[in-house]
Structure 1
Amino acid sequence: MTPTAHDTATLLKRITLDPGVCHGKPTIRGLRYPVESVLEYLAGGDTFEEVLAEFPDLEREDLQACIQFATQSLKLRSLHLVAA
């Protein structure tokens, strides 16, 4: 099921950028969980359930937000490549 624009916007609110947290890298809800690290776990084959068991502070929507953030980032990069 493809998320709606509203769903995507709601999920992306979970991703925060703060120069004082993780050197300004995108993190989940201001916690010290970089989006990049969570995506590496998922890309390495860990399931949502495994990641959530390892990091009890996280919620399923946080993992979905990481994927949406990556998707949006890739779309923006593609647009920049086409425009160049």
Structure 2
Amino acid sequence: MNYLERITTNPEICHGKPCIRGMRWPVEVIIDMLGSGMTTEEILDDHPELEKEDILASLHFAKLNLSGKPIKDVA
């Protein structure tokens, strides 16, 4: 699965921040929830509009950003 297909950017949504599937769920919010100690199951239970693949896509996107390479080069 190409997780990056789940990450979208649109200047009309969340000021153009990378979001999940065009929804108002910025990747940074998903990462923040995980960083605060929430499990994937807790996130999905609290936010049924999200899918497990959205969380995995957020982690993949964050990893690629930290790699220091442009996303377009590694995607």
TM-score w.r.t. the length of structure 2 is 0.88
Q: Work out the CA distance in 2 between the residues paired with 1:46 and 1:57.
A: 17
Q: Work out the CA distance in 2 between the residues paired with 1:32 and 1:54.
A: 15
1:65 counterpart (43, 57, 75) = 57
Q: Work out the CA distance in 2 between the residues paired with 1:21 and 1:76.
A: 25
Q: Work out the CA distance in 2 between the residues paired with 1:12 and 1:24.
A: 16
Gaps of 5+ in 1: 1-6, 80-84
Please report how far the alpha carbon of residue 54 of structure 1 lies from its aligned counterpart in structure 2 after TM superposition. 1.0
TM-score w.r.t. the length of structure 1 is 0.79
- After superposition, the C-alpha distances for 1:19-42 in whole angstroms (9 at most, x for unaligned) are 000000000000000100110000
Gaps of 5+ in 2: 71-75
Q: Which residue of 2 aligns with 1:12?
A: 4
Structure 1 runs of 4+ with >4 Å offset: none
Q: Report which of the two structures shows the higher radius of gyration computed on alpha carbons.
A: 1
Count matched residues: 70
| CA RMSD after TM alignment | 1.3
Tell me, yes or no, if structure 1 residue 27 matches structure 2 residue 19: yes
Q: Which has the higher helix share?
A: 1
